[in-house]
Amino acid sequence: MSLSAIDVLLDPDRTMVERASAANARLRAVFPAGFALGAEHAPHITVLQCFVRTADLHGVEAAVAAVFAQVDLATLGLVATGYYYLPWEGLGLAGITIAPTPALLDVQQSLIVAVAPFSASGGGPAAFVGAPETPTILPTAAYVETFVPDHVGADYNPHVTVGLAPEDDVKAMVAAPFVEFVFGVESAAIYRLGDLGTAQQKLWSSAEGKTAS
């Protein structure tokens, strides 16, 4: 059975994209091997990650579209609160943290219920775009496998991933003063995931109202 690793996400507005891109440029200046934000690594706010049966992707898209048809994205005003990072063998995967709101948690719960009939377990590297064989792909797959229940509800940590760099450089960025800012949501989307949780292949967008594949 073929599985796909997917990310149901929110596309932030220009305010967040510009801040995330600036942080990404700062990290790539010290670690050029890190990924660049852009079309293949879109800045985003993950709401739900999971493995689904590839044959059911159109059903997933329809279920997610039905959820967002009931959500006014313009009302999901969000607040960026700081930086955080996840350490991995001397490197740090950094992100901008976002305060979870009741409205955002309600959307997440609705998506969990909607996608559950199509979800499956046991996805490996082949479930990701390009079927990467990298040192980070198995931890990435384990994260997707356990996103529900480990990263939902009270344990949800909404954020925008901004890049990868040596841990000391990321620590310095996290420790620097951060001025909170408010930003909006432009659209919702479904992507197939690449390594390190990057949103790499768009499958559906509320802005387009149809699949992009």
**Domain-wise residue ranges, the chain:** 3-205
**Topology of the domain covering 3-205:** Cyclic Phosphodiesterase; Chain: A, (3.90.1140)
Confidence of residue 38 (pLDDT cuts 50, 70, 90): confident
The residue with tokens 């198995």 is: 138
In the chain, the percentage of residues whose pLDDT exceeds 90 is 90
- The pLDDT of residue 196 is 87
Secondary structure class of 134 (helix, strand, coil):
coil
- In this prediction, residue 211 carries a pLDDT of 47
Polymer length of the chain: 213
pLDDT at 209: 62
Q: State the DSSP code for 41.
A: B
Name the residue type at position 213: S
Which helix (H) or strand (E) covers residue 59, if one does?
helix 57-68
| 95-106 average pLDDT score | 97
pTM across the whole model? 0.92
